[in-house]
Amino acid sequence: MSGPANASPGGPACAWTPSPIRTGRGIAFRLSALVLSAVAVIFVAMSGATYFLAREALLKNAEQSARTQAQALVQRIEARLAPISRVAQGLGYDLEDGLLDDAGILRRQRQTLLDNPEIFGTAAAFEPFGRHPDQEHFAPYTFRAPLGITHTNLGGAAYRYHAMDWYQIPRELKQIVWSEPYFDEGGGNTLMATCSVPFYQGQGDTRRVAGVTTADVSLEWLTRLVASVQVLDTGYAWLITKNGTYVTHPAQGLAFNETIFSRAEENHDPELRRIGQDMIRGGSRLVPLKSLHTGKPGFLVYAPLPSTGWSLGVFSPRDELFADVNRLALVSAGLGGGGFLLLAGLVAVIARGITRPLRRLCGAAREVAGGHLDAALPEVKSRDEVHDLARAFANMQASLKEHIRDLTAATATRERIQSELRIASEIQLGILPKTFPPLPGRTEFDLYASLTPAREVGGDFYDFFPCGHDCFCFLVGDVSGKGVPAAFYMAVARTLIKAVAESVAGAGRRRGADASGSEQRRIPDPGRILARANEGLSHDNDSCMFVTVFCAVLDYATGEVHYASAGHNPPVLLRAGAAPEYLPTHGDPVAGAMPGVVFSTDTLQLHPGDALALYTDGVTEAMNPALELYGEERLVKRLAALTDQDARATCEALSKDVHAFADGAEQSDDITLLVLRYNGAGPEGAETAGTAPDNG
Amino acid sequence: MNCAGSKQGAFYVLEVTGRMDALTSQGFETECLGRLEAGDTRIVADLGGLEYISSAGLRSILSAAKKLKAAGGDLAFCGLSGIVAEVFTVSGFAKLLPVFATRDEALNRS
């Protein structure tokens, strides 16, 4: 239904064609997507920040805790190692004081072992010949043997202890020295280390080293202790001596076999070497490191054991350190993701809730657009823009309905009018005579007329009728304007002219009979006919309509034609064997315009074969698509080729030619043609002509 | 169709241009009646610029002329040429109504 769209004030813009498939995304989707994207960005940013901050904090915490752990371990070890050096020192002090004889030394040593279960053995080694002038090596040694505490003297030709490290180094350095750990196969079959402390004799300048006391200590507990240190899951602790020798290490075969430097060399790890150097210098630091043992990255905390000069390392793997952070991140991601999904659902529900009335409205709009003007509109309860839209839409629907109602009514009215016009046109054509030839049996003349109506009702007409004795009146007229008024006026004009003509013919006959008897026949005067018709038509003609008429009367007995024109186009005279010519007229005015007009009558003699072609301006003013007029010249030319045709053929050929010329352009006026061809009075006609006055 | 007018002496001169057909001719009559109401009863229509006139145009002229005449005035024409002059001649309007060759003639008639 294109009517409402075309008729709406908005024009084509309002001709909305419903498209059931929307290619883009809906508002709900876009709203949700927008909100959720924003939330996702914020969430990721927050999670990221939290993760990194927590990582930082945790790292600091872990470092602190690693330091603390290392420190605690150092203290635990120190707590056991420090007394040992004091034990050796205590023995030394006693010897310096000279309070002990040889037996006293043994007693003292025995007591020491009894008091300190971790000490495996203790020695008091004197300078050569220092204790006994006859005895170069004197070093009473008390130790734990499988069967109990046993005494022995270490020195002798087989064991010249003065050259040994455990004696030589503390003696030279004049300080407490811990030996490298060693495996004591003879004694306890355990891992041992010896703490050596020098003791002196003499005062001031004469003070010199008198010997070295030692305490052997089993390191089993130490390795156990260090090995038992739990650093996260795979972290570990290890211990090196002053020389860098591993005392304990979780890696198999490292302890006592390798130093930190040899391991660094082996693995081409300069970083480890630097760490080792710092460690044996007594440094204490935290350094990032990749473990050679486990291959994991992490960091190492190392700290010295002050009493021995050894160094403790504690390695913490990074991933385990961050396990908490990662767990935290995982949990927060899980919570965030869950929250996000929840939010997504919520946003979707809200967005759909907002757009639901819009979608329903859209559906209703589609229905309305599809022609269902009574489609129910969804009720929008909210007082928002959608509500306004729904109201505006309802208004639109109402005015659309009204508009279409009006339009339907207007269309019906127009159709009624058109139908009435059509009827008027049919009546108009219906009252025209259509009997050809007009006087059956008469061969003196041949007449044919045609009227092709324009789309709009026009005012053309033609007429012909017998008019007095042997006379035949024929005429063509054209009423000004178009439509029903023109049709009415045409009907009136035609009827009036015919009535006037018949009346004039009757009067002429009577007058002729009265005045001059039968010796002269009178042809009804067309000028008079038009003048009388003009009086009738112009009377009370407020609308100022008028009609152009060419009216002629033929005396078919003689071929004499009397004619008059009321403002009509001059007809064409077709003389047999000569060029067509327009009949000169006097330029008398149209009929109906004003009363009191006089119309001149002219006379013309037709010879057999001559013809007259009457037409209306619908012929000469027929237009082709290029807006050219058919014109008088073309008419004459065309008629020149038709001089030997009968009336009907001439008429039809001319009509066809005008149509061909118009070439589809709309016909704006009626096209009327009337052709009369005079054949001459035959014997019958002559007889009739001769007898007519008698009959009258 | 366009009508442009001006007062010239005793006459009101209407210059008519364009086409005077069934669609536009009413305008001429309306214009003349407007002048009549304004008190101008003697109108000279200069049809020099008129390209075409149909029978409806003639009807409009006739109507205006009758009304002016009834009011004691008149409607004269000048400057006719071409098809318009032909229509005036053929239809006899040249006999019914005063027609002058030039505007001066129309204005300076006795």
Tell me if A547 sits within 8 A of A478, measured CB to CB. Answer: yes
The CATH number given to whatever domain includes residue B9 is 3.30.750.24
How far is residue B104's CA from residue B110's CA, in Å, rounded to a whole number? Answer: 12
Provide DSSP, A511-569.
HHHHHHTTSS-----HHHHHHHHHHHHHTT-TT---EEEEEEEEETTTTEEEEEEESPP
Is residue A478 exposed (0-12), middle (13-18) or buried (19+ Cβ within 10 Å)?
A: buried
Tell me if A408 sits within 8 A of A400, measured CB to CB. Answer: no
Task: Give the rounded distance of the alpha carbon of A286 from its chain centre.
Answer: 58
Does B92 reach chain A within 8 Å, measured CB to CB? yes
Tally of CB atoms within 10 A around A694: 8
Model confidence pLDDT, tens digit, residues A272-299: 999 999 999 988 888 888 888 888 888 8
Q: How far is the first Cα of chain B from the last one, in angstroms, to the nearest whole number?
A: 31
How far is residue A265's CA from residue A261's CA, in Å, rounded to a whole number? Answer: 6
Q: Which residues of B touch A479 (CB under 8 A)?
A: 55
Tell me if A370 sits within 8 A of A18, measured CB to CB. Answer: yes
Supply the pLDDT for residue B5: 84
Compute and round to an integer the Cα radius of gyration of chain B.
Answer: 12
Supply the pLDDT for residue A511: 52
Model confidence pLDDT, tens digit, residues A100-134: 888 899 999 999 999 888 888 999 999 988 888 88
Q: For residue A485, what is the DSSP state? A: H
Which of A597, A561, A536, A546 has its CA nearest to residue A475?
Answer: A561
Tell me if A1 sits within 8 A of A368, measured CB to CB. Answer: no
Cβ contact A590–B89 (<8 Å): no
Supply the pLDDT for residue A562: 93
Q: Which residue of A has its CA nearest to B85?
A: A587
Supply the pLDDT for residue A695: 37
Supply the pLDDT for residue A687: 40
According to DSSP, the residues that pair with A448 across neighbouring strands are A675
Does B95 reach chain A within 8 Å, measured CB to CB? yes
Whether the predicted interface score ipTM is above 0.95: no
Q: Between A544, A585, A597, which is nearest B62 by CB? A: A544
Q: How far is the first Cα of chain A from the last one, in angstroms, to the nearest whole number?
A: 69
Residues of chain B with pLDDT under 70: 110
A630 three-state secondary structure: coil
Does B94 reach chain A within 8 Å, measured CB to CB? yes
Residues of chain A with pLDDT under 70: 1-24, 185-189, 508-521, 682-696
Cβ contact B95–A589 (<8 Å): yes
Task: Give CATH for domain A444-689.
Answer: 3.60.40.10
Which pair of tokens denotes residue A575?
A: 């003389």
Supply the pLDDT for residue A447: 92
How far is residue A557's CA from residue A688's CA, in Å, rounded to a whole number? Answer: 8
Which pair of tokens denotes residue A189?
A: 């079959």
Question: Hey, which residues 29-68 in chain B have their CB within 8 Å of chain A?
Answer: 55-56, 58-59, 62-63, 66
Supply the pLDDT for residue A682: 66
Cβ contact B92–A543 (<8 Å): no
How open is the CA angle A422-A424-A428, to the nearest 5 degrees? 115
Q: Which residue of B has its CA nearest to A478?
A: B55
Identify the domain containing residue B97 by its residue range.
2-107
Question: Hey, which residues 533-562 in chain A have their CB within 8 Å of chain B?
Answer: 543-546, 548
Tell me if B32 sits within 8 A of B43, measured CB to CB. Answer: yes
How many domains, in total, are found in chain B? 1
Supply the pLDDT for residue A474: 94
Output the pTM of the full model: 0.54
Tally of CB atoms within 10 A around A391: 12
Domain A100-218 indexed as CATH 3.30.450.20: yes
Supply the pLDDT for residue A1: 43
